[in-house]
Amino acid sequence: MTIHHIAENNSVLNTFLSEIRDQTIQKDSLRFRRNIERIGEILSYELSKTLSYSNENITTPLGTKEVQLSTNDLVLCSILRAGLPLHQGLLNYFDKAENAFISAYRHHPNNDQDFEIVVEYFASPEIENKTLLLADPMLATGQSLVAVYEAIKKHGIPKEIHILAVIGAKEGVDFVADHFPENTHLWIATIDDSLNEKGYIIPGLGDAGDLAFGQKL
């Protein structure tokens, strides 16, 4: 897997990351969602440089111009619910893409810290031989992404896979790299060092879904 760690180079991305981490600023759910969306736009721009392009002639009011336009058939797939603001950021840039949504959540059968990933809902267009952009803002253990990928494969095999995430843990990045095809690309804003005993990224930012949409039962 090819890893693109965007925050390794300083940019305005640093501002958005600092605001979603800051325990005071992140309480503004509208701003939190917008910052995740902005980060999605940055990841989309960087990813777009690696797509396939072909020449097309565009007619302007004063003449013609040859331009290079992407030829990839894109499908954007986000993991509900935390992935929705990130999905919107991708859609802002890839506005002609098709869209898919899948659910994945941590189930604690013994009401302790051990959990399994449950995938229950999947709505998608045809993905066979297309370019799949899989969006999940928090790449913690990596188990959710792997479970989602196993579910998606039952409906078709994409030609290319690009994973987009905001914050990841090294452990989760390694786990995903071991379970996705070798030609997969990971576009991630920043990578933190570790997970706590509950599987949350440290220092991370907390629960992205709760910060974006409110606490769940």
Domains detected in the chain? 2-47+73-213 (3.40.50.2020)
Q: How far is CA 13 from the centre of its chain?
A: 15
Dist. CA 76–CA 137, nearest whole Å: 14
The pLDDT value recorded for residue 104 is 78
Contact residues for 214 (Cβ-Cβ < 8 A; gap 6+) = 29
Which residues of the chain fall below pLDDT 50? Answer: none
* pTM of the complete model: 0.92
The pLDDT value recorded for residue 112 is 54
Contact criterion met (CB below 8 Å) for 137 and 36: yes
Contact residues for 42 (Cβ-Cβ < 8 A; gap 6+) = 6, 11, 12, 13, 16, 189
Residue type, 83: G
